[in-house]
Structure 1
Amino acid sequence: MKNAAFSIVNYQFDKVTINLVNHKKPELSINFICNGVYSKADSTYELTFSVSVFNPDSEPFASIRCIGTFQLDNVSDFNEIPDFFYPNSIAILYPYVRAYLSLVTTQANVPGVILPTLNLSNLEDELRRNTTQK
């Protein structure tokens, strides 16, 4: 059996909401939601990665949903998706979300919102649980 490999084919931000009226403090809290769909027909994986940013004890001031499409090589079944794919696919998309939020808030002529660099490996189990096959 050949080693499995994957690459990102595309990503897009399909839903973005920013309401800086709710951004009142420099402290940030971040909530992540991720799910995916593996397509056996073309061996692709569509990762939906949602990030909500808020100040503690307040409503989110930014919600961003990014959809990344990955090509999986040498994977012919859902159960063959390698363990390393789940944490690494999230780690690939997060910098795009981070840069997007920073760019948009800076362009709004307010102090830019810069998300911290994070180790998101704790999202691996959530992504596995929330992955389906079509």
Structure 2
Amino acid sequence: MEKAAFKLYNYRFTKASLDFNIPNDAELNISFNPKGVFYAKNAHYDLVFDVTVECVETGTEVVKVSCEAFFSFGNKVSIEDIPDYFYPNSLAIIFPYVRAFVSTISLQANVQPVVLPTVNLMGLTEKLKKQTQIID
């Protein structure tokens, strides 16, 4: 069977919240919550990628953004045809946009910019798979 080819055809940020009332040089913790919807009828996958940056000292959410990414598959595929590498790769494709967005909005706030580190998102594969809804 031929592997399912996919591409990112659009993305948008749906939510952004900022709270820079934190100590200078605060330790920041980043967390991710990916979820998705696979539309079987037209073989599209909508990824919702929530990223939260918290201040360790105060427990304050410094940055919280939600990004939606829209992927299409080159041919008619079912959820079973989607290769395992799609899940981490879809996150890896959209993460640079999230990083740039967070850096830009924090820089515009005239505070020390929040620069997200490059991270290996392979650990989110199972979480994204489990949080994928299928719509016929």
Give identity over the alignment, percent.
38
- SS of corresponding position for 2:21: helix
- SS of corresponding position for 2:103: helix
Does the CA-based 8 Å contact 1:53-1:62 persist in structure 2? yes
Pairwise mapping of residues 32-111 of structure 1 onto structure 2 (< 5 A)? 32-57=32-57, 58-111=59-112
Does the CA-based 8 Å contact 1:98-1:115 persist in structure 2? yes
Superposition deviation, residue 23 in structure 1: 5.9
Change (3 A) 1:27 1:75: farther
- SS of corresponding position for 2:71: strand
Change (3 A) 1:23 1:133: farther
Change (3 A) 1:124 1:75: farther
TM-score by length of 1: 0.94
Superposition deviation, residue 44 in structure 1: 0.5
Q: Distance in 2 between matches of 1:24 and 1:87?
A: 34
- SS of corresponding position for 1:21: coil
Superposition deviation, residue 56 in structure 1: 1.1
- SS of corresponding position for 2:9: strand
Does the CA-based 8 Å contact 2:42-2:76 persist in structure 1? no
Per-residue CA distance 1:60-118 (angstroms, 9 max, x = gap): 11100000000112342111111110000001111111100101111111111101010
RMSD, aligned CA: 1.3
Q: Which runs of 5+ in 2 are unaligned?
A: none
Alignment-mate amino acid for residue 71 of structure 2: F
Superposition deviation, residue 24 in structure 1: 4.5
TM-score by length of 2: 0.92
Q: Which runs of 5+ in 1 are unaligned?
A: none
Q: Distance in 2 between matches of 1:59 and 1:32?
A: 16
Per-residue CA distance 1:21-77 (angstroms, 9 max, x = gap): 146534220111011000011110000000000121412111000000001123421
Q: Distance in 1 between matches of 2:123 and 2:83?
A: 17
Superposition deviation, residue 9 in structure 1: 0.7
